[in-house]
A = this chain, B = another copy of it.
Amino acid sequence: MTEIEVRSRARIELVDVTSEVAASLARFEPGATLCHVFVPHTTAAVVVNEAADPDVARDLAAAYRAIVPEIPFAHAEGNSDSHLLATLLGSSVTIPIEEGRLALGTWQGIFLVELDGPRRRRLRVSAI
């Protein structure tokens, strides 16, 4: 397992970490077939989606804000919306490795999804 550090700049923001995850594969023994990226936080998530047009990441951030229901929340920290989105988006992604490289689709990238930033975040990367 190895760690990546990420810094977010807004409350909700998709941060492209594809090159950092790809670079971390060199730290594992050759022959791995899957790469696992885990976010050890409860108000952030990790997703795979389009990395070509930055408008997609902006639209996603706006849409995440818009799907949070307007209900009263009990949690005193006031960030239950962040916890909700974290569970809907997921705490990890798993990506095939072929010949030592991430076998992502043409338009795919890996994003840390900041849901209660700006903050400093970590990702835990494993290869198996």
Contact = CB atoms under 8 A, between A and B. Distances in A.
A113 to B, nearest CB: 8
Interface size class for chain A? 35 or more
Contacts of A68: 63
Given A49-B83, A126-B34, A74 B103 contact: no
Contact of A40 (B33, B104, B124, B128): B104
A81 B33 CA distance: 31
A128 B33 CA distance: 8
Interface string A70-109: 0101111100110110111111111110100001111110
Contacts of A69: 63, 66-67
A74 B49 contact: no
Nearest to A62: B71
Given A55-B73, A63-B80, A66-B71, 20 more contacts: A1-B33, A1-B98, A1-B103, A38-B95, A40-B105, A40-B106, A40-B108, A42-B108, A49-B83, A50-B83, A53-B75, A53-B76, A55-B76, A56-B80, A63-B73, A63-B81, A91-B95, A92-B95, A96-B126, A103-B124
